[in-house]
Structures are given as structure tokens and as C-alpha cells.
Amino acid sequence: METLITLFLIACMFFAALLFYASGRRRLEPDLARQGRVVAKRQTGDGYYARATYFVTFEFQDGSRDEFETFDRQYGLLAEGDQGTLMTRGRWLKGFARQWPQRGPSFPRPLHT
């Protein structure tokens, strides 16, 4: 019985160290800001636990595409076709600043006679 408890504790410590290492690597990656366009959104989840993971795919000016994980709120604010500047760290979408379409020159409305 003591052997099982010892093995369980070692496995827990190994798992905690692995999580700490993975999160530390993400924090050490540089922040990048790039122009992109939302081309797809998807979510994965386990219906049993009612937990979802959200992903957004962006297309960049050179034609390349990349998928980033994000929070549910950011996911809900994005729509396919949105263009702007995305801020990323590794595989994580930190933020997105939408670039609103430019309007043409403003002309006065004709007067009705």
C-alpha cells in the first residue's frame, strides 16, 4: 500500500513539474504583432465536463495561415472576415485590434427640390 502511495505522489510531482515547464516556456516566448484576417473559428470540448477550448485561424499578408488558442470572450468577439492586428505569444492569441474598413470620400447629399 505504501508503494502505491509513493508511486502516486511521484506521478503527481512529475505532472506538476511538466505543467510548470510548459507554462514557463510559453511565458518566455516573444510577443508578436502581425496584420491578419480571421478565416475560421472552432471549438473543442468534452461534453461531460462542459469545458471548451477555443481556436481561431488567421491568414496573413503573405498568404500563410496559423491557428491560435484563445479565451471564450475573445472568441465570441471575433467573426470570420475581421481584419486587424493580432498580438500573439507562441500558440496563444493575446489580443486582436480590429481594423475598421475605410470609407470612401464623403460627398454631400443632393438637395431635394
User: How high is the pLDDT of residue 58?
Assistant: 95
User: How high is the pLDDT of residue 100?
Assistant: 77
Distance CA 77, CA 79 (A): 7
CATH for 59: 2.40.50.660
Distance CA 29, CA 101 (A): 32
User: How high is the pLDDT of residue 83?
Assistant: 93
Q: Is residue 2 part of a domain?
A: no
1 vs 84 pLDDT, higher one: 84
100 vs 48 pLDDT, higher one: 100
Closest CA to 55 of 42, 66, 46: 42
In this structure, of 7-16, 18-27, 30-39, 81-90, the range with the lowest mean pLDDT score is: 18-27
* Averaged pLDDT, 46-73: 87
Q: Is residue 45 part of a domain?
A: yes
Q: Is residue 5 part of a domain?
A: no
Q: Is residue 107 part of a domain?
A: no
Q: Is residue 104 part of a domain?
A: no
* Averaged pLDDT, 12-39: 79
Q: Is residue 21 part of a domain?
A: no
User: How high is the pLDDT of residue 47?
Assistant: 65
Helix, strand, or coil here: 97?
strand
* Domain membership of residue 48 as a residue range: 31-98
What's the total number of domains in the chain? 1
C-alpha distances in Å from residue 14, one per residue of 23, 25, 37, 45: 14, 17, 40, 26
Q: Are 61 and 35 in contact (CB under 8 A)?
A: yes
Q: Is residue 86 part of a domain?
A: yes
Kind of pairing between the strands at 51-60 and 65-70 = antiparallel
Distance CA 43, CA 74 (A): 12
The whole model's pTM is what? 0.64
